[in-house]
Amino acid sequence: MTEKCVIVTGAARGIGLASADLFREEGWKVVIVDRDRGALDEVAAARPDLLALPHDVSDPDQVAAMLRDTLAWAGRLDALVNNAGVAEFGPIRDCDFAMWRRVMATNLDGVFLCSQACTEALAATRGAIVNIASISGLRASTLRVAYGTSKAAVIQLTKQYAAELGEVGVRVNCVAPGPVRTKLAMAVHSQEIIDAYHDAIPLNRYGSERELAEAIVFLASERASYVTGQVLAVDGGFDSTGVGLPALRGRVSDPA
């Protein structure tokens, strides 16, 4: 058992909740942060060992309160998982400034604000930050000018922080998930998109929240003590396959 403490943002459901549960299983003290107070209360009621904070990561005052409450509860901070994210998809012509700002406020400003707020506490424990980007930040595609750009920025922000915080012993890494059947994804993935993803992913399926959590907890833990500045795509092979021609599928098992 460890006395280590982790903050996971956006942890009232989906990948964040699966990560919070895996940290708990590994003996961490876990702080979950989410602006959806109803969902957060439900999760916390079933997990009395964790600290649940109803904060919005895009608000500097609420982020300051998040750190204050965490340190008052655990006395230390060893890892920050910047997972809170929103997805709004649509053609570029329909992306007005309000939509752009909504996406950037959580996906990019939130990562910056939480990282800034937590850096000193993480330096005290030589801790780690894990940012959650997306394959949409690694490869451009249609309908996600704000989302994809916010996630590409998170990847660069990971490297900027890793470059500077290495000096104080803080590791900073990034996980880029492929498609996972969470509420966020299902709101923007039609059946047509689901089928197309299956075609383009060598493992031929969506990932699970737990599969993402395994990578996130690994990068936050001592097991990754010499890993920093990295982007780990947990995506069934999507990122590595270039244009991934569906027409070439099936030939692997049919050498003739």
Ligand X SMILES: NC(=O)c1ccc[n+]([C@@H]2O[C@H](COP(=O)([O-])OP(=O)(O)OC[C@H]3O[C@@H](n4cnc5c(N)ncnc54)[C@H](O)[C@@H]3O)[C@@H](O)[C@H]2O)c1
| CA torsion, ordered 178, 101, 115, 144, to nearest 10 deg | 10
Nearest residue to 133 (alpha-carbon basis) of 169, 211, 81:
81
The C-alpha angle with vertex 3 and arms to 52 and 130, in degrees rounded to 5, equals: 65
Q: How many residues touch ligand X (CB under 6 A)? A: 30
Q: Decide if residue 12 touches ligand X (CB under 6 A).
A: yes
**Among 132, 217, 233, 234, interactor with ligand X by CB under 6 A:** 132
Q: Decide if residue 86 touches ligand X (CB under 6 A).
A: yes
Query: 43: alpha, beta or left, given left = phi > 0 and alpha = psi -120 to 50?
Result: alpha
- Catalytic residue (choose from 147, 161, 197, 206): 147
Instruction: Mark whether 206 is an active-site residue.
Output: no
Q: Decide if residue 131 touches ligand X (CB under 6 A).
A: no
Q: Decide if residue 10 touches ligand X (CB under 6 A).
A: yes
Return the amino acid letter for 121. Answer: A
- Residue-by-residue DSSP string for 100-115: HHHHHIIIIIHHHHHH
Q: How far is the CB of 72 from ligand X (least distance, A)?
A: 20
* Binding flags for ligand X, 38-67, as an x/- string (CB under 6 A): -x----------------xxx---------
Contact residues: ligand X, CB under 6 A: 9-10, 12-16, 34-36, 39, 56-58, 83-87, 106, 110, 132, 134, 177, 179-180, 182-185
